[in-house]
Amino acid sequence: MTKAKSNRILKYQDDFDFWARLARRNPERFERLRSQMIAEFLNTAPEEKRIRLQRVQWRVDQARKLARNPVDSLNRISRLMWDELMTLNSEQKRLINIFCGDGSKTNSDGVVKSAAIMPFRKRDSEE
């Protein structure tokens, strides 16, 4: 894709009215531009994050394909995002448990309740 074409597409990225109108009047063009914008975004992502982002986008696309209608699509994608968030939450709690022991030092949200305070020597200029 040329840089000029890329800039034309990005010009509309935040224009809800443009996208809503396009989806109603020309669904095929809407899909084509939507796919192009997503591809451009993924191609600009840092290399170490690109594969993960492409996998997430693939899952979103599959949820859209399986959906019976736009509302079902929205619900499926929302569920997918919530599942990811809950997975991250579980991993956070697991890591806190690893570093804080049996969890007795954390509350029900996995937040550390207390911590050891390390003593520091006074500097010579403070004595």
User: What's at 106, amino acid-wise?
Assistant: T
- The pLDDT assigned to 127 comes to 54
In whole angstroms, give the CA distance from residue 36 to residue 55: 16
Q: What is the mean pLDDT of residues 59-72?
A: 95
Question: pLDDT above 90 covers what percent of the chain?
Answer: 49
pLDDT higher for 125 or 80? 80
Task: Please determine, for residue 108, whether its predicted confidence score (pLDDT) is greater than 70.
Answer: no
Which pLDDT band holds residue 116 (cuts at 50, 70, 90)?
confident
In whole angstroms, give the CA distance from residue 92 to residue 109: 10
pLDDT higher for 1 or 89? 89
110 backbone dihedrals φ, ψ, rounded to 5°: 85, 10
Domain boundaries, the chain: 3-110
Express each pLDDT in 13-54 by its tens digit: 678 889 999 999 999 999 999 999 899 889 988 999 999 999
Coil, strand or helix at 26: coil
